[in-house]
Structure 1
Amino acid sequence: MNGLLRKVLRFGTMITAGALMSSALPACGGSDPGGGTDNDGSAKNTYVLVHGAFVGGWGWDKVVPLLEADGSEVIALDLPAHGDDTTPLADASLQAYTDAVVEAIDSASRPVILVGHSMGGIVVSQAAEQRPEKVKTLVYLTAFLIKDGQSLNQEWADDEGAKIKTFAEASSDGTSLTFKEGWAEGAFCQDCSPEDIERLESHLREEPAKPFDEPIHVTEERWGSVPRVYIEALQDLAISPAEQKSQYTALPVERVISLDAGHAPFLTKPKELSDALKSL
């Protein structure tokens, strides 16, 4: 296993999702052939967490211990050219991202709950296409859920509520993107604490631009066979709530969970987010 993966296993007290998920909606997926229940009868899951643009695996740090509290396994990786990964910007591509996630899936001890945030939505779609038998549930966390042949930029182009676009700046050669001052509190995470804003800004790196224009390739036979859940963020200024709804309406999901949060609920609503994931 290479340095892309950070696997942390801890054991503690079970944290339930009952307070958040008051309605008795059916869980997605069927039996877990990889052993979703341990010998003591307690539920265990493996989560693979895929961050979005301008973030890294560090973004899940508040969520990881909450998911691990029941003994579940959590894999939070840095995509190529993100976080601590040293891949050159020129080598970052949708396929490189997908390969990293597939490696994480293959390293897991059981079929996984695969979670993609924002741009990570296109990556988890591609990964599920390659490993449908190893993905128990696909979760789109205020993420791009798009059709075969579409690119992120094509889907995002008409999202008038995406205020983050006013902060984006392309490099002179068009190969990367970064943000103008005020991006974090202005649109990416307007509900963040000053400490979280500082953390976002301290981790900001140039974002590879090419994957935004690369079309995804998925099929109903493979990607379409995996149960899908969408977690929408009702205060999102990066992917507007209207855009999120249009996506999960065009490509229906088995369940929609709503969080009253901006674009980064992993920072602002970690308990609510972890409860939602545990309810699946």
Structure 2
Amino acid sequence: MATFVLVHGGGHGGWCYKPVAQRLRALGHEVHTPSLSGLADRAHLMSAAITLDTHIADIAGLLEFEDMAGVILVGHSYGGMVITGAADRKPERVGHRVYLDAAYPRDGESLYEHAYDAIHAARQGLHDIDGVQLVMAPMPGMAAFFGVTDPVLGPWTDARLTAQPWQCFEQKLMLRQETAMRAIPESHLICTSTISGRDMDLLTQRSEGRVWDIDTGHDLMLTEPDWVATRLDAIARL
């Protein structure tokens, strides 16, 4: 069976993978769902020093200290920036990269540049708390922004969202071992509604055709956990 590290997106935490992780573990896989520094159960670590590099170091450190090898590294949304950086830092420990409706950055690109329309809209809510510039302040009904509209799941999600340090979106991803990182197999699970903003030819070429889409909200790991877990299990069996 495979080892998965599931990396969440902006404003989320490891909690968002609970339904998918339960399904993967039931299939016999080892699953890690870390929360990135300053978010969710690690919100008490919030500081002005947190950047994209911090979050890359979070995941690269987990791979190193848990002595993992052949890991299937999954990133959702902003998490695509993080897993690209972590696979670049520790290519010898990663066996597959999976982009879950995620950012797919180039070297030297920030998420702000990569997904300008969405991130610029979020930037309008920029605010300062204790010297930290934050965006995506949680509020009732915010889960709907991520496509979670179920009357039970929506409030559950709202109660767990946390604000994101703006620097994470603004800092450019600087790759160190891009050739080795790109050589790691990759797959893409995409929400149908976001396909128009992607270079599907590039994704199909680089993933050797491993691109699947589903018509659901951006938080597909919450809205369609069976589909996501089934695809991840299939990737593990390649």
- TM-score normalised to the size of structure 2? 0.87
Provide the secondary structure at the position in 1 that maps to 2:153.
helix
CA–CA distance in structure 2, aligned partners of residues 122 and 138 of structure 1: 11
> Contact 2:7–2:83 at 8 Å: present in 1 too?
yes
Give the equivalent residue in structure 2 for 1:55.
12
Residue 226 of structure 2 is aligned to residue 267 of structure 1: no
1:92 aligns with 2:50: yes
Deviation string 1:38-91 (CA, Å, 9 cap, x unpaired) is xxxxxx000000000011000001011111123210000010011101212313
CA distance in 2, matches of 1:89, 1:250: 39
Match of 1:17 in 2: none
Q: Is the 8 A contact 2:2 2:29 kept in 1?
A: yes
Q: How far apart in 1 are the matches of 2:73 and 2:195?
A: 22
Identity %: 28
- Shift in CA distance, 247/134, structure 1 to aligned 2, threshold 3 Å: farther
Find the partner of 1:101 among 15, 39, 59: 59
| Worse overlay, 259-268 or 175-184 | 175-184
Return the alpha-carbon distance in structure 2 between the equivalents of residues 72 and 204 of structure 1: 27
What is the CA distance between 1:182 and its match in structure 2? 3.7
Counterpart in 1 of 2:167?
A: 210
- Structure 2 vs 1, CA of residues 126 and 269 (structure 1 numbering), >3 Å: closer, same or farther? same
Letter in 2 for 1:128: A
Q: 1:138 to 1:204 in 2, by over 3 A?
A: same
For residue 100 of structure 1, report the CA deviation from its aligned partner. Answer: 1.0
Aligned to 2:126: 170
Larger radius of gyration: 1
Aligned to 1:69: 26
Residues 112 and 119 in structure 2, CA contact (< 8 A), matched pair in contact too = no
1:156 aligns with 2:115: yes
C-alpha distance in 1, partners of 2:110/2:204?
A: 15
1:129 matched residue in structure 2:
88
Deviation of the 1:133 alpha carbon: 1.3
Contact 1:170 1:177 in 2 (8 A): yes
The letter of the residue matching 2:229 is: S
CA contact (8 A) 1:164 1:183 kept: no
Shift of 1:196: 1.4
In the aligned structure 1, how far is the partner of 2:167 from the partner of 2:214? 30
Q: Which runs of 5+ in 2 are unaligned?
A: none
Q: Distance in 1 between matches of 2:121 and 2:205?
A: 24
In the superposition, relative to structure 1, how do residues 99 and 195 fare at CA in structure 2: closer, same or farther (>3 Å)? Answer: same
CA deviation after TM superposition for structure 1 residue 142, in Å: 0.5
TM-score by length of 1: 0.75
Distance verdict in 2 for CA 1:167–1:202, change over 3 Å: farther
In 1, the alpha carbon distance for the partners of 2:47 and 2:158 equals 19
Flag the 1:170–1:48 CA change in 2: closer, same or farther, 3 A.
same
**1:248 CA drift (Å):** 4.7
Q: State the partner residue of 1:279.
A: 234
Matching residue within 191, 195, 209 for 1:241: 195
In 2, Cα distance between equivalents of 1:71 and 1:245: 34
Q: 1:112 corresponds to which residue?
A: 71
**CA RMSD across the alignment:** 2.4
Q: 1:224 aligns to what?
A: 182
Alignment: residue pair count:
228
Structure 1: gaps spanning 5 or more residues: 1-43
What SS does the corresponding residue of 1:52 show, helix, strand or coil? coil
Partner SS, residue 257 of structure 1 = strand
Partners of 1:138 and 1:88 in 2: CA distance: 28
Residue 175 (structure 1) shift: 1.1
Contact 2:39–2:46 under 8 Å retained in 1: no
Bigger proportion of residues as helix: 2
Contact (CA 8 Å) 1:145, 1:251: kept in 2 or not?
A: no
2:20–2:229 CA contact under 8 A, matched in 1: yes
Q: One-letter code of the match for 1:253?
A: S
Whole-angstrom distance in 2 between the partners of 1:247 and 1:197: 34
- Residue 197 (structure 1) aligned with residue 154 (structure 2): yes
Name the structure 1 match of 2:207.
253
